[in-house]
Amino acid sequence: MPQKDPKSVSERFAGKGVFPYQMAFTLLIPLRRLLLSPATLIDRLDLADSYHVLEIGPGPGYFSIEAAKHLPQGKLYLYDIQQEMLDHARRRLVKRGYTNVEYHRAGGARFPFADNTFDRIFLVTVMGEVANRDVYVQEIARTLKTGGVVSVTEMKGDPDKLEEGELNALFTAAGLEKYRQYRTFAGLTVNYKKAA
Ligand SMILES: C[S@@+](CC[C@H](N)C(=O)[O-])C[C@H]1O[C@@H](n2cnc3c(N)ncnc32)[C@H](O)[C@@H]1O
């Protein structure tokens, strides 16, 4: 089971560490669209209807609804270390009628998914919160299909934000190739491909 973080909710909200579920509402503020809208982020994933897509650290599902909408014959898998975040995302997706979603609690090193499962994996403002990043990236590489893409987004102002160089070092060390990059005033998305 994941270890409980000894820091307070406000310390974790304002500083480094796992984003507290008690503040999940701040991730759903409509003005967030001005920094990065769900439509823009999902567009960067180049989804097909039947894809299997893993979102790591979905929180309350700000981007998940748009992802589920694009997968009418596929499936979205949400994988978060906090059960409260998964429950929040589930409520929002069920309310909108999405049944093409699985919910998995993260914990431990190995992902509970078989090799070569996902066409796409994406994370938004998550990687910096992950304690065992090297292991996570190995697991991402293992569970991605050949030709699949992992998309990592970091936003300015996030206390856990990783720089482009840190992302490149992490993902290329796991054998993934940098494929595409999107940079705006508000943040950065880098896509890496699992080459044949
Ligand atoms: C800042 S929130 C971002 C949520 C969402 N991606 C968004 O942008 O609205 C970070 C999320 O990553 C989750 N998280 C942190 N460490 C994780 C880990 N090791 N595995 C899975 N999820 C993790 C947190 O529980 C939280 O829901």
Summarised one tens digit per residue, pLDDT across range 14-58 is 678 899 999 999 999 999 999 999 999 999 999 999 999 999 999
Residue nearest to atom 10 of ligand 1 (CA): 126
Residues 6+ apart with CB under 8 A from 64: 55, 58, 76, 78, 89, 92, 93, 101
Q: 37-193: CATH homologous superfamily?
A: Vaccinia Virus protein VP39 (3.40.50.150)
Q: Are 189 and 162 in contact (CB under 8 A)?
A: no
**122 CB near ligand 1 (under 6 Å):** no
* Distance between Cα 128 and ligand 1 center (Å): 9
Q: Give me the amino acid identity at 90.
A: R
* Distance between Cα 17 and ligand 1 center (Å): 10
SS3 content of the chain, % helix, strand, coil (to 5): 35, 25, 40
**58 CB near ligand 1 (under 6 Å):** yes
Burial 74-91 (b: 16+ CB within 10 A, else e): bbbbbbbbbeebbebbbe
pTM given for the model = 0.95
